[in-house]
Amino acid sequence: MTSFDPNSVEFQALSVAEQLRIRPLIGLETEYGVHAPANPTANHSVLSMDLVNAYAARMLAEGSAVAGTEWDYGEESPLVDARGWTMPRSAAHPSQLTDEPLGPEQVAAEAIAAERAAGRWEDVPTHQLMNLVLTNGARFYVDHAHPEYSSPETSTYRAAVLYDQAGEIVLRRATEYLAREQGAQIRLYKNNTDNKGVSYGAHENYLVSREVDFDALAAALLPFFTSRQVICGAGRAGVGIGTVEPRFQISQRADFFEEQVGLETTIRRPIVNTRDEPHAWGEKYRRLHVIIGDANLSQYSTWLRVGITDLVLGMISSGWQPSFALLNPVSALQIISHDPTLEATVHCTDRVARTGLQILEYYLQQAQAFWQEQTLPDHRRAEVDEMLQAWQEILTDLSTDIFSTADRLDWVAKYQLIRQVAQRHNVGLDDPKIAMLDLQYTDIDPTRGLYYKLVAAGRMRTLVDAAEIEAAADQPPQDTRAYLRGQAIKHFSHLVAGVSWETLLLRSNTDQRIHRILLSEPFAGSATEAAELFSGNVEDDEFIRRALNFGAGRRKGADR
């Protein structure tokens, strides 16, 4: 196969797993750390709401559009476990109930009430937006005590990086608006812990075939996810949760994981998450919700993270399994993270002790053999080969000289800076200077963030430029349903009554009736397929009619 047409008879004859090896689907979610320097005790839920509302105000003032609307929770199923059961709601932690407005919205509403009762933030409106859907197809909302940006669905590794970076633009625009219009200074950090016992997420989502056995999927992923941090860790000055030991470690998240496999995301965090919430045709697809990763500023780290994970998923979907397992994955996760020399070994079931690098080298060798045998369209072959080469190069460089990768990997770049400052000032890692440096690396303000200063100095490799990222904050990907969602927000936001990843609720101006447009096929709704919806001078009711016909047609196609 040297060309790619998803509507061709040849492509449709492939299994779902084979189709996804040719055309993956990836989305990233980032919860940002938030702080108000002039008001250090400010409620983080209120600050998050301020950011969401500031972004809406800025975009509307500039003549752009957003949809400040309720999230359509009808398609969410956070308590369905991929292993074949559903957790009772009575047994679920409140943070797991993301299928109802009484989750993050209720927490935020209670935060407003508490602030107003205490005599603070008297000017906070009673009703505030909690959720925005953006013209680039992304979601920007309040997730408990954090502003969260969930990127639109993408189908290439580079696009996944681009739209993750666009989230930083969105958050930055919001802080700039607050500073300009209200004089409020809010700092945002792309990190995963406050070093006071709290951790927040940077999640990944990958579409896999429903035919793949989940137990086999989890078993094959455990050694990989445990060792993957060697490439995509964000680095942290400190070991531990509540009491932080003054050492440097590779991953910000490793110390916060307690289980191998499980449904939770905020308590008893598992290395492999079992939430069976596909946000797509459930009979056809499964969404692998990955919660083990760190938030990366480095474009190269993010690119490697999504790329090597997709390549491993492609192998697993064919029935491949590793020849060994870890005796204690949770312990191994932390052992590897706590040793930035990369020399620590973990015990495997074949009685071989391996380093994180050696585990990743094994997965790489298996991936090279597997993907060389795959028949792929030209553009996909180029993407796969480029990722395999980059994977090999980074492992070779880490094995030879860890600091040679400081131009690509977040944890190494941060570690190098910390070592330099500690030596220059003759201080230990428990010195306040080190804690400040650790935090400043993740500041998304380019005038303050140390990562951005490294980029400006030419010391960090980038894959997408500033102009591309700025454009991606407003324009959706062209080849997934994110295009239809984003264009609907851009041109018909006044009709949007609700949104989810696989639905669009439109309210008719004629009779106020709500129409649900199903977009359960993630690749339907691309620029090519959805162009007809927006062509010409389309009136509101005509757009609703076209959207209904589009959704119905794609549903019939899936039912066949």
- Give catalytic residue positions: 143
Rounded Cα–Cα distance for residues 394 and 413 (Å) = 14
DSSP-derived 3-state class of residue 86: strand
Residue 456 in tokens:
């400006």
Q: Where are the alpha helices (DSSP H) in 277-341?
A: 299-316, 329-337
DSSP β-bridge partners for residue 71: 499
Rounded Cα–Cα distance for residues 241 and 194 (Å) = 10
Q: Residue 73: exposed, middle, or buried by beta-carbon count in 10 A (0-12, 13-18, 19+)? A: middle
Q: How many CA atoms lie within 13 A of 497 on its CB side?
A: 12
DSSP-derived 3-state class of residue 414: helix
Dihedral in degrees, nearest 10, Cα atoms 166, 167, 172, 178: 130
DSSP-derived 3-state class of residue 26: strand
Rounded Cα–Cα distance for residues 82 and 274 (Å) = 5
Residue 364 in tokens:
């790489």
User: Residue 73: which residues within 8 A CB-CB, separation 6 or more?
Assistant: 98, 99, 100, 101, 500
Evaluate whether 167 touches 231 at the Cβ level (below 8 Å): no
Which segments of 126-166 are extended strands (E)? Answer: 131-134, 139-143, 146-150
